[in-house]
Amino acid sequence: MSLTVSTPAADAVIGDTDRYLIVSSDSHAGPALEKDLRPYCPPRYLADFDSYADRYRRALSTMPDPMIEDATQPALDAYAALLACDGLHDPHAFLRDMDAEGIATQVIFAGGGNKEPLPWSDGFNAGDPNTDPALRAAGGHIWNQWLADFASVGPERLLGVMQIPIWDIPAAVDEIHWGKEHGLRAINFPAPRPDYPAYNDPVYEPFWSAVEEIDLPLVCHVASGMRPTISGRGALMIFATELQFYSRRAFGQMAFGGVFDRHPRLRLGFVEQRAGWVAEHIKELDSCYVDPRRDYSDKPDRSPGEYWRENCFVGCSFMARYEAELRHDIGLNTLLWGSDYPHVEGTWRRTPQALRKTFAGLPRADVRAILGDNALRVYGLDESVLRPVADRIGPTAAELDRPLPPDEHPAHLGLAFREFGPFA
């Protein structure tokens, strides 16, 4: 499926009272380890599960909480709301929160941020490489089973993202077929890491073919691969910046490795990312593609920029105004919005203000593409099912066109209110 589409229709066709159909490319669930996930554990792993849960709870009691370090009081209040969020484990509460925010559909990853891990893993990555691979694979399947049941409450509104054992290609192929058959809608694609081969390696050929066959997108969440280990002055700021580019490395490996030539129907997304990096990163990769010093014998058929426009997308959680203004440099048809529900850095409980801050006054057809149309295409959603939902809960075009004055900013801004330099 190519992601290239025609230019959106003129915004004159979107009237003041028309409601946007909003799809969030990034949200999270956080089932309780023992209460919610243990019932899905195979009997042969129950002793290992209970041992893991016991060790985790004991470690948690002495573990410092990075979420409270240097946090402002509004951020601490937002964190308390996250820890009390019923939507992390209750699909009906999840849907109620979506309705209140005007969001028709959300893509759901692990990693709720509520101190509830997946068994033998801490969220949406490939788990600790020192942990038994069979246990890590079992933990991913436990999540997939729980999530399939969770998402079945609203199949076109709750889009579950499956875990896969990327270090074991035959098992990963089996898992994605299971996930497809049980209603999951995307594949959590861990970013590169030293304990499994880089994504230009031929070992992945059966996996790419299977992904094309089931026709689901690969979504590479921030922090799903290598993570920086930083201490000392500025550690949190350094971590926040380095974590982003560690999570983008799959694209260059796949583009230069010719993966999109051999598998042109693959869709690859980078999620809970900022978006300003895309244009410069593509320029950098394209400049390597046309390096005048070398005539590469193993060059892919097309430039990385062409693969980006045809096969890739960025799920820009908590999209800031300046990122929306870069939409044509990034590629309008490759840009998706996300709420990051219910994380502190996201837009939950302040989505209406965040949307106005980011999109007020921009061409309505562009806003429609970013908020919904692009995601409908990427995830193969049925607009006829979602349009009545959007007409019931979605914000009108006129509402989003109203600029947000400073006196209407929420107490906790979240990252959607980012600026270059101090907040405006």
Per-residue pLDDT of 262-290, as tens digits, reads 999 999 999 998 899 999 999 999 999 99
Q: What six digits make up the tokens of 11?
A: 């915004």
pLDDT more than 70, % of the chain: 96
pLDDT at 394 over 70: yes
Nearest to 246 by CA among 265, 234, 230, 264: 230
In a domain, 422, yes or no: no
Give me the pLDDT at residue 4, please.
56
Give me the pLDDT at residue 30, please.
97
Give me the pLDDT at residue 421, please.
57
Instruction: Give pLDDT tens digits for 140-176.
Output: 999 999 999 999 999 999 999 999 999 999 999 999 9
pLDDT at 297 over 60: yes
Q: How confident is the model at residue 337 (pLDDT cuts 50, 70, 90)?
A: very high
Instruction: Give pLDDT tens digits for 368-381.
Output: 999 999 999 999 99
Which strands form 23-28's sheet, in the order they lie side by side? 23-28, 105-109, 158-162, 186-188, 218-221, 268-273, 312-317, 335-338
**Quick check: 144 and 216 in contact, CB under 8 A?**
no
Q: Is 35 exposed, middle or buried (0-12, 13-18, 19+ CB in 10 A)?
A: exposed
pLDDT at 21 over 80: yes
In a domain, 190, yes or no: yes
Say whether 141 sits in a helix, a strand or coil: helix
Nearest to 27 by CA among 348, 419, 356, 366: 348
pTM: 0.95
Say whether 230 sits in a helix, a strand or coil: coil
Give me the pLDDT at residue 423, please.
44
Q: Which domain holds residue 175?
A: 16-417
pLDDT at 9 over 60: no
Q: Looking at residue 35, what DSSP letter applies?
A: I
Give me the pLDDT at residue 8, please.
52
pLDDT at 138 over 70: yes
In a domain, 8, yes or no: no
d(Cα 212, Cα 136) in Å, to the nearest integer? Answer: 25
Longest dimension (CA), the chain: 62
Give me the pLDDT at residue 424, please.
39
Give me the pLDDT at residue 3, please.
62
Average pLDDT, the chain: 94
pLDDT more than 90, % of the chain: 83
In a domain, 146, yes or no: yes
- Across the range 346-354, mean pLDDT stands at 98
- Across the range 103-113, mean pLDDT stands at 97
Q: What six digits make up the tokens of 294?
A: 């070398």
**Quick check: 163 and 140 in contact, CB under 8 A?**
yes
d(Cα 359, Cα 401) in Å, to the nearest integer? Answer: 7
Give me the pLDDT at residue 2, please.
54
**99-to-105, 394, 409 alpha-carbon distances in Å:** 10, 8, 21
Q: Where are the extended beta strands (E) located within 192-249?
A: 218-221
**228-to-60, 125, 149, 224, 234 alpha-carbon distances in Å:** 21, 14, 34, 12, 13
Give me the pLDDT at residue 198, please.
97
Give me the pLDDT at residue 241, please.
82
- Across the range 106-120, mean pLDDT stands at 96
**Amino acid of residue 108:** I
Say whether 343 sits in a helix, a strand or coil: coil
Phi-psi region of 118 (alpha: psi -120 to 50; beta: other; left: phi over 0): beta
- Structural domain tally of the chain? 1
In a domain, 7, yes or no: no
Say whether 270 sits in a helix, a strand or coil: strand
> Which domain CATH number covers 264?
3.20.20.140
* Rg of the chain taking only CA atoms, in angstroms: 21
Instruction: Give pLDDT tens digits for 175-190.
Output: 999 999 999 999 999 9
In a domain, 340, yes or no: yes
Instruction: Give pLDDT tens digits for 44-64.
Output: 999 999 999 999 999 998 988
**Quick check: 139 and 127 in contact, CB under 8 A?**
yes
